[in-house]
Amino acid sequence: MRVYDTKTIRALDALAIKEYGIPGVLLMDTAAQALLDELDLGASYFVLVAGKGNNGGDAFALARKLWQRGKEVELFVTARREDYHGDAALFYAMVEKEEIPVTLIEDNADLGVFQEALREADWVVDALLGTGIKGQVSPFYRNLIKAINGCAKRVLSVDVPSGLCASEGVPKPVAVIARKTVTFEGYKKGFLNYDALPYLGEVVVCPVGIPEKAKASLDDKVFLLDEAMASILVPKRVVTGHKNEYGEVLVVAGSFGYTGAALLATEGALVSGAGLVRLSSEDAVLAMVMPRLTEAMGLPLEKIEEGVLKAQVVAFGPGLGTGREAYKLLLRVIQILQEMAGTKKVLLLDADGLNVLEGKTELLKSLSFPVIMTPHPGEMARLLGISKAEVEAHRLDYAKAFAKEHGVVLVLKGYQSIVTDGEEVYVNTTGTSAMAQGGMGDALTGIISAFIAQGLSPMKGAILGVYLHGLVGQELGKTHYSIKASDLLKGVPKALKSLQEKR
């Protein structure tokens, strides 16, 4: 499933009509059917509010379908008959011929009748503004939106909640709070902004008949991850396979007080199928952790070169500390990898592996081997030298730009984690707030590392790792209020097998 900004979705509509000969009236009727399918038709009274343009046209087409099914329909419009044009005007004419009740609301004096209808409605359909919003919502439209929000009814928004910017995901300055948003052909970029979440409700993406060829020609290469995408990435296993065929991971992690990070990252690689896993850390950390990692091998830091030489992936950073010694250790690992760049070994940087690069990200541009970075929003903010709030307001843009500029694969963790190489972007759809505990990122580091060790590219390994990590948490979240990272890792092999069987 694709993710579009406002400019691209408009161009897509125009392309479908002009280049592919699909009548706009057909697109509008298909959209109305999609809306109808998402309403509870056990209800009897539907209030629809339509602004100008095609969003209003969708409401007119929907009103007809509801009316023809014997439902009581009240249609409120914010523009006069002569202000509607094209396909919207055509459906308005049909509404008039079928004598569906239409009430014009032009200013605040008309709000009373609208509010009265809202109080009686079973469902309210919001088709006021859609994706066409420019600048701030006018005072009159703000009052309409406030009236909708104040009615405490089930609200379905058409394409995007009115007042919410489809590209930025912020209210301008108010927006309809929908129970459900039915959006067409693709997810809207603004929906990825955390500020948009209180307004969206359940998001349902519905096709309206635009050809795949048309979508590919205007593709922004931003996708929502789904099971089909993830399942085809699961590394294949052959009947004669042995440990040396499934790669080796070197985890460089842990320090006094942060031994759990080393344990979880190492265990994450083990349960995700890596043939061999080594943990390189301080002697004191190894002494505490290795008795619990019976299937992994320990490696003192002074022998780290040996581990780098043997591994396909070096996972660097969880719980390592941010002092000068950690940075010097990273430079040492980088030097070894640079000397072996032709072997395509991969460096994964997480946690303190990212923190020691604060103010030093130019270093990444000189590297001749693949790098994956897995920051959470706070770490991303430090790398960029901006606030966490700024990162969360423009997650996709910052992630894509950083990955492109520095030549890395970047995983920006959080709700709807983003995976990008600067060209393509994948937005995760799995996960739950039950996973909001320390250690989850360490576990993810190990999971991603294992998939790359087994032969996946850094981008594909990150995509599969993020999806699987969230999937296991999501399943556990159905029966658990909160989830420990160690408990999540126990569910990885079974979930991975299930995905494999769906290839």
Same domain flag for 337 and 405: yes
Question: Quick one: pLDDT at residue 449?
Answer: 99
Reference 1, options 191, 195, 197, 198; nearest CA is 191
Same domain flag for 243 and 165: no
For 494, half-sphere exposure in the C-beta direction (CA atoms, 13 angstrom radius) is: 9
Question: Quick one: pLDDT at residue 100?
Answer: 96
Same domain flag for 55 and 156: yes
- Last residue in a domain, options 183, 212, 241: 212
Do 145 and 175 form a contact (C-beta atoms < 8 A)? yes
Residue 222 lies in a domain: no
As a whole number of angstroms, the distance between CA 65 and CA 432 comes to 37
Same domain flag for 192 and 265: no
Same domain flag for 395 and 471: yes
Tokens standing for 153?
């009814």
Same domain flag for 167 and 291: no
- What one-letter code names the amino acid at 97? K
Domain that holds residue 299: 227-500
Same domain flag for 190 and 232: no
Q: In what order do the strands lie in the sheet with 102-104?
A: 102-104, 72-77, 45-50, 123-127, 154-158, 180-184, 202-206
Same domain flag for 206 and 313: no
Tokens standing for 248?
């080796």
For 312, half-sphere exposure in the C-beta direction (CA atoms, 13 angstrom radius) is: 23
Question: Quick one: pLDDT at residue 397?
Answer: 94
Residue 197 lies in a domain: yes
Cα Rg for the chain, rounded, in angstroms? Answer: 26
As a whole number of angstroms, the distance between CA 113 and CA 109 comes to 9
Same domain flag for 167 and 246: no
Do 445 and 404 form a contact (C-beta atoms < 8 A)? no
Residue 279 lies in a domain: yes
Q: What is the CATH number of the domain that holds 328?
A: 3.40.1190.20
User: What's the structural domain count of the chain?
Assistant: 2
Tokens standing for 346?
């991969």
Same domain flag for 305 and 205: no
Model confidence pTM above 0.85: yes
Question: Quick one: pLDDT at residue 272?
Answer: 98
Tokens standing for 235?
């590394």
Residue 220 lies in a domain: no
For 146, half-sphere exposure in the C-beta direction (CA atoms, 13 angstrom radius) is: 13
Four-residue CA torsion sign, 130, 136, 140, 144: positive
- Last residue in a domain, options 179, 212, 245: 212
Question: Quick one: pLDDT at residue 214?
Answer: 86
Reference 261, options 321, 324, 303; nearest CA is 321
Residue 244's Cβ-count burial label (10 Å; 0-12, 13-18, 19+) is exposed
User: 357: Cβ–Cβ under 8 A, 6 or more apart, which residues?
Assistant: 330, 349, 363, 364, 383
Q: What is the CATH number of the domain that holds 179?
A: 3.40.50.10260
As a whole number of angstroms, the distance between CA 196 and CA 201 comes to 10
Same domain flag for 358 and 382: yes
Do 32 and 62 form a contact (C-beta atoms < 8 A)? yes
Question: Quick one: pLDDT at residue 79?
Answer: 93
What is the maximum alpha-carbon separation in the chain? 84
Same domain flag for 15 and 100: yes
Question: Quick one: pLDDT at residue 245?
Answer: 86
Residue 375 lies in a domain: yes
Reference 397, options 222, 275, 259; nearest CA is 222
Question: Quick one: pLDDT at residue 383?
Answer: 98
> If the chain, 503 residues long, is cut into consecutive pieces of 10 residues, what is the mean pLDDT of each piece?
88 90 95 97 96 93 97 96 93 96 93 94 95 88 96 92 94 97 94 94 94 82 94 92 91 97 98 98 97 97 97 98 95 96 92 97 96 98 97 94 98 98 97 97 99 98 99 97 98 97 88
DSSP state of 320: -
Residue 335 lies in a domain: yes
Residue 115 lies in a domain: yes
As a whole number of angstroms, the distance between CA 202 and CA 1 comes to 16
- Last residue in a domain, options 158, 181, 212: 212
